[in-house]
A and B are shown apart, each in its own frame.
Chain A
Amino acid sequence: MTEVLLLGRRAVREVVRYPEATIPTLFIPLFFLAVNIGQVSKTFPSSTPFLRGQGYVAFQLPVSLMFAVATATSGLALVTAIDLGYFDKLLVAPIRRSSIIFGRLAADLVRGIGGSALVLLFGIALGAHVESGVAGAVVIVLLAAMFGVAYAGFGILIALRTRNVQATQSSFLLFFPLLFLTPNFVPFDRLSPAMETLARINPVSYVIVGLRSLVIDGWNAGDIGIAIGVIVALGAALTGLSLHTIATYDR
């Protein structure tokens, strides 16, 4: 446990000391939020049924939260450490290899909380109203951050399997199908049938729907429960694979 805290602290240090790595990951969601709203707020006025009297910003906010937390930061940090030889230094230390992964994920959680809180505040500044209140806002931030932790497993897996910086960098490509084959612009029932099928298969859709329900509907146990289930399942699967990969690294 101490090892995880020590390695987590180091990873947080990395985030703080290299703001140039974090700022773009936050700039993009803020930028998209502002631009999308500017473009479609006339198409979807507050009178649009699925907005329930709110501005389109409330509908888009969860998508921007996903943008802010779904990054390959941990994967890139790991592959850089592999490249520099620092990873070997960690492997040869008398620690459980899993601590290396959990240390990264701990930092992802901290960064995810900071990033999603910022995006949420920005959304509120643009006029979104969190129907579920302050407690709901906290749950939104925590769920988004947990999704970020779960998603980090993709980058970590690619880093450990390929040990290649370019391959890990290009893992952000995964992001596009995962975040855009969703009801990100309109609800499920407004998507074309093919899109709807894909979006319904995509687990990320349910995280967006869950977060969105907290913003627009208030406390909807069903939507929130499914979102939590998806985050936990995705996190368990990817973290499990990462742990297996590091345990068998060069073995």
Chain B
Amino acid sequence: MPMRTEEQPTAIAAMCLRRTFKGGIEAVRDIDLAVSAGEVFGFLGPNGAGKTTTVRMLCTLLPPTSGSATVAGLDVVGDGAAVRRSIGVALQEIGLDPVQTGRELLELQCGLYGITGRSGRERAAELLELLGLTDAADRRTKTYSGGMKRRLDLASALVHSPQVLFLDEPTTGLDPASRLTVWDEVRRINASGTTVFLTTQYLEEADKLCDRVAIIDDGRIVAEGTPERLKAEMGHDVVSVSLNGADPDATQSALAGLPGLERVMPEPGALALYVADGANSIAEIVRRLDRDRIEVGAISVARPSLDDVFLNATGRRLEGQEQSQEAEQ
């Protein structure tokens, strides 16, 4: 049954969506999602969190083990064919055909969506121009750079101006310039009315690009909301004390009972103090360290970031995943 909300059309809805792979791997564990039409929705999580599995279920490529989902008001299991007509998909593994040129690939893609003959050729040329691939249009895709492949893959997801666009890690492994191009393109697509469901491992991407974010970890959604709201809900600042060789345990006990202290997170070579009011805590922190004759390095205050939201929800940092992921590519 298609599910509809009266006031705001729901572009994507998931109810208790679950996928267990052979061998009992619970990739996605009963997640609920509600993405409104016109949103850029970010699905943020580390490698192996279950992002791709979720996207594949929503795109009708993988049947859910249990639960249900609708995309554009259509059931992904019962109405797969109609869902496929409404969506554009750029998967994490760029599915480019090395045999064809960029132009041939897009023209074929147009044909598969029923845009044939001259309209297909025009649409392909238009998209090539839009994504800056006109010069490379008649070269085989295997000669393209990583950024060009991403852009072509994105173009191929757009031939039929889909209602809902799924992008699975569209910028992973891209250089900063290509990443910005993709961001611009996502904003442009969204401005034309397309709902975008985007997965990412990058906090900055979720923060800058997405209207709302869900953080997924180990198959579960652990936080959800606008980036601003998630950060505000943290309700504290982060004071970072660089240890500079000082003993972490001694430093920690010196700071125990600091007014407004909510939590101390040890980090390599530093302590992160979650306090209600960062600026006004610094004097007290310095006084206490002096009292115990502990010499530390720089002390800095930051407003909470999405990284802190992630840390708060999972007890781990997301950063660092990015490096290892890029090294793999």
Contacts and interface: CB of A to CB of B under 8 A. Distances in A.
Given A93-B84, A250-B62, A88 B112 contact: no
Given A2-B111, A85-B94, A92 B99 contact: no
Interface in B95-119: 95-100, 104, 108-109, 111-114, 116
A94 interface: yes
B104 A13 contact: yes
Contacts of B156: 89
A190 interface: no
A250 B99 contact: no
Interface string A8-33: 00100110011000000000000000
Interface stretch (B85-93, B124-132, B251-259, B277-285): B85-93
Given A85-B91, A85-B93, A93 B98 contact: no
Chain A interface size band reads 20 to 34
B119 to A, nearest CB: 13
B137 interface: no
A186 interface: no
Contacts of B104: 10, 13
A10 B100 contact: yes
Given A6-B111, A93-B84, A88 B91 contact: yes
Given A10-B100, A250-B61, A88 B108 contact: no
A84 B109 contact: no
A13 B94 contact: no
Chain B interface size band reads 20 to 34
B180 interface: no
Interface of A is mostly: helix
Contacts of B91: 85, 88-89, 92
Interface of B is mostly: loop
A85 B95 contact: yes
Contact of A14 (B60, B87, B99): B99
A84 B84 contact: no
Most buried by B among A14, A84, A89: A89
Interface string A76-97: 0000010011111111111100
A86 B108 CA distance: 12
A6 B112 contact: yes
Given A84-B95, A93-B113, 11 more contacts: A10-B97, A85-B93, A86-B96, A88-B61, A88-B91, A88-B95, A89-B91, A92-B84, A94-B81, A94-B85, A250-B63
27 contacts: A3-B111, A3-B112, A6-B111, A6-B112, A10-B100, A10-B104, A13-B104, A17-B99, A84-B98, A85-B95, A85-B96, A87-B95, A88-B61, A88-B93, A89-B89, A89-B91, A89-B97, A92-B59, A92-B84, A92-B87, A92-B89, A92-B91, A93-B84, A94-B85, A94-B113, A95-B112, A250-B62
Interface of A: 2-3, 6-7, 10, 13-14, 17-18, 81, 84-95, 250-251
